[in-house]
Amino acid sequence: MGVQGLCRFIEANSQIYQDVRFRDSRLVIDGFNLCHLLYLRTGLDQNHGGEYAAFEDLIGKFVKALQDCRIEPYVVVDGGTDITGKKLETLKSSAEDRIRKAHAAAEEGRRGGILPPLAKQVFRQTLARLEVPVAQCFAEADQEIAALASEWKCPVLSNDSDFYIFDLPAGLLPINHFQWVAGGRNGSWRESFIRCKSYTTSSFCTLFNIQPQVLPVFAALAGNDYVKLQELTSCWARSDPAGSGSAGRLEELLRWLSGFQRPQEAVEAALRLMGDLSRQREAEVLQGLSLGMEEYQLPPSYLRRFFTDGTAPPLLPEAVGLVPDWARLPLTQGRLTRDMLDVLLLKRVRLGVMVDHSSLPSAYLTSRPLRQVMYGLLLGGGRKLRVEETDREGLLLGSCRIRPALRGVAQQLKLDSLDKAAHSLCLQVLLEALGVKPARLSGLPPHLRLPVAVTCYWMREASPPPDRSLLEALMLGLVTGEMHRESAGSSALRSMKTHCSQKPDLDVAHAYNQWQACMEDSIHLNQLLDCPLPEPHIAWLYQGPLVHQLVHTLMRGTTPELLLNRNSTSIQLYRALQAAVLQPQETTASAAAGKRGKHAQPLDDLTGSLQRLLLLDEDKEESTARARSAVRAEEDPGWQLVSVRTRFRSKDRGHRAKNPELASKNKRKDWS
């Protein structure tokens, strides 16, 4: 987030940069900044849930470009939320902006810059597979990135404007100017380099004639994530008669700061500019400026030893006694979600934003029971314990206090000794949370057992229940991912993804958003339990454009076997997945299904059932689904969510009636 308007201001004064040919060096990388920019600026899908396999390939090419130039990357990513709460308003404003953009993307098909929900998991897993050193901080990463680069005297790769303020001996390489795709050579591959631009604070201070020690004051007065001083902002605006916006305001501020030698002098002068202030307001202003300036003071790097010899860094003082000692190393390695820190330290979690219509409930409601199990393992089962979840409510950001769940065999586990718990016990806790018995997964490849268990949970808990085409398309996507190394069986499916429009089908998108939310939370729970089920190859679980296109193809009557080119290996895997997902529900699953209604019937004869479903008259099945919804609404008040969804579909039907292909979406069955 950084200093408001500073990146644009630097670009407008590009003489600050120096052209360099970068090679033979360490490089400290702002991990999530790179993750966002790699994904969002390369044309990958944003509106159908993500193109994860293509993203994995892109990450691999980026790492290969660095290796060709003998550049050693060290990736550092953010950890838990700042415990002081200094940035809560900034985080809330940013989240609500993403919600509005996500809604516009769903409704109009525009690109909203929304990172798909599993992209960071793919980023982490791919870097681990490529043996790129990665560290997850216990708090925000900016200060630690700068400290590490300062000690190693190597540059930072980022687009965050805060790095224009840190005093970095080897400077900053802005990602926007990092031409890793083109590359370059001096006669042979051994002398390959990456063309880029380098920024240093010394060049900035020389150009604008200010003292380097005054630069943090500039960031604080300009307004960063910690400082919001409208009184001072108006001072610089009044001094900008040309009305040139933020660029003119920053330039006027720099001109004013050029008259000061020491930071304290500038702060005192700024207070005088604000006129008469009450003692309370003056104290607030001084505290805000001090906090803003402190962010650019570099402590010794606590990740240096982790990268050199694998030593887990010490916990932050506020985390001692709350975060178990065994968790330090897996947290730093990124093998545990950073949400764990927010739960333990703040009893608070911020959920993500997906491309979804604002009239629909958040997809994360479906996976809430899974998070409750994780909260129970982390916090115990006290009656008064609650975790505040921040999530989308329409176009706004809302919060809800959630009670941790600690039931069944999970009560035998304690956080302090969770790393020593028996594998069988951890597996039982995970499968109980998902409502799946081990026998259901026994015939599957180990790495597909977690995705299949998640799909069983999704079929039972999603609202509205996924219909036949949604499930078949999802399983075809899983098969395609599994068979991607072979040309047979996957080429026909792969060629279809190019026909998917930017505007997603709202019904399909919402259903698969729920699946991805369940997948994300199940991965986190599985990691906390030390992976009793093998972690799947996430990049090949879901390809949004392909799966969305498959839904419509299947609705037109094409069979899964035909789409798999009658390849025996692919069909065999597809039928194994189908059998696992559609076999009769276990006791726990049946009880959960009963909460929604008494009409769901298990399908034990798979082939015959699918044939009968394909031959049903669609008009008759639509009226049956409407009657079924009315009965459920009377039986269970929770079914009102589905009623709201039905009204939305009825309204949307009128807008799509002229397009037969889109209109056919309204003929889906309620199929459990």
| Model pLDDT, residue 540 | 94
Nearest-5° Cα angle at 325, 321 to 327: 115
Write the secondary structure of 511-572 as one string of H (helix), E (strand) and C (coil): HHHHHHHHHHHHHHHHHHCCCCCCCCCHHHCCEHHHHHHHHHHHHCCCCHHHHCCCCHHHHH
Q: Is residue 283 part of a domain?
A: no
Q: What are the contacts of 595-601 at 24+ separation with CB within 8 A? A: 595/636, 595/638, 596/463, 596/465, 596/632, 596/636, 596/638, 596/639, 597/628, 597/631, 597/632, 597/635, 597/636, 597/639, 598/635, 599/628, 599/631, 599/632, 599/672, 600/465, 600/672, 601/672
| Model pLDDT, residue 41 | 92
- Work out the pLDDT band at 136, boundaries 50, 70, 90: very high
Secondary structure (3-state) at 449: helix
Is residue 204 domain-shared with residue 353, that is, in the same domain? no
How far apart CA 540 and CA 542 sit, in angstroms, is 6
- pLDDT over 70 at 218, yes or no: yes
Specify whether the CB–CB gap between 496 and 549 falls below 8 A: yes
| Model pLDDT, residue 634 | 36
- Work out the pLDDT band at 223, boundaries 50, 70, 90: confident
Give buried/exposed letters for 208-245 (b at 16+ CB in 10 A, else e). bebeeebbbbbbbbbbbbbbebeebbebbbeebeeeee
Q: What is the mean pLDDT of the chain?
A: 83
| pLDDT tens, residue by residue, 337-353 | 999 999 999 999 999 99
Segment 22-27 shows an average pLDDT of 97
| pLDDT tens, residue by residue, 581-595 | 998 765 443 334 334
- pLDDT over 90 at 141, yes or no: yes
pTM summary value? 0.84
- Work out the pLDDT band at 534, boundaries 50, 70, 90: very high
How far apart CA 81 and CA 87 sit, in angstroms, is 9
- Of all helices (H) and strands (E), which one includes residue 172? strand 172-174
Helix 368-379, helix 339-346: angle, nearest 10: 60
Q: Tell me what percent of the residues of the chain surpass a pLDDT of 70.
A: 80
Who wins on pLDDT, 545 or 228? 545
- Work out the pLDDT band at 650, boundaries 50, 70, 90: very low
- pLDDT over 80 at 335, yes or no: yes
Of 208, 234, 256, the domain-final residue: 208
| Model pLDDT, residue 660 | 33
Flag the least confident range among 42-51, 460-469, 608-617. Answer: 608-617
Q: The domain containing residue 80 runs over which residues?
A: 6-208
Q: Is residue 602 part of a domain?
A: yes
- pLDDT over 60 at 435, yes or no: yes
Q: Is residue 49 part of a domain?
A: yes
Specify whether the CB–CB gap between 473 and 550 falls below 8 A: yes
Q: Is residue 309 part of a domain?
A: no
Nearest-5° Cα angle at 22, 21 to 24: 130
| pLDDT tens, residue by residue, 470-517 | 999 999 999 999 988 555 334 444 444 455 677 899 999 999 999 999
How far apart CA 51 and CA 544 sit, in angstroms, is 6
| Model pLDDT, residue 487 | 52
- Work out the pLDDT band at 285, boundaries 50, 70, 90: confident
Domains in the chain: how many in total?
Answer: 2
How far apart CA 3 and CA 163 sit, in angstroms, is 10
| Model pLDDT, residue 460 | 96
- pLDDT over 70 at 200, yes or no: yes
Segment 89-104 shows an average pLDDT of 92
Flag the least confident range among 229-238, 507-516, 605-614. Answer: 605-614
Segment 14-31 shows an average pLDDT of 96
How far apart CA 447 and CA 534 sit, in angstroms, is 5
Segment 153-172 shows an average pLDDT of 96
Segment 393-407 shows an average pLDDT of 94
| Model pLDDT, residue 226 | 58
Who wins on pLDDT, 641 or 105? 105
Of 208, 239, 268, the domain-final residue: 208
Who wins on pLDDT, 288 or 420? 420
- Work out the pLDDT band at 617, boundaries 50, 70, 90: very low
Q: What is the DSSP letter of 429?
A: H
Of 182, 208, 234, the domain-final residue: 208
Q: Is residue 627 part of a domain?
A: yes
How far apart CA 644 and CA 631 sit, in angstroms, is 15
Q: Is residue 218 part of a domain?
A: no
Flag the least confident range among 71-80, 161-170, 240-249, 313-322. Answer: 240-249
Q: Is residue 588 part of a domain?
A: yes
Segment 163-172 shows an average pLDDT of 96
Q: Is residue 638 part of a domain?
A: yes
> In CATH, what number is assigned to the domain containing residue 121?
3.40.50.1010
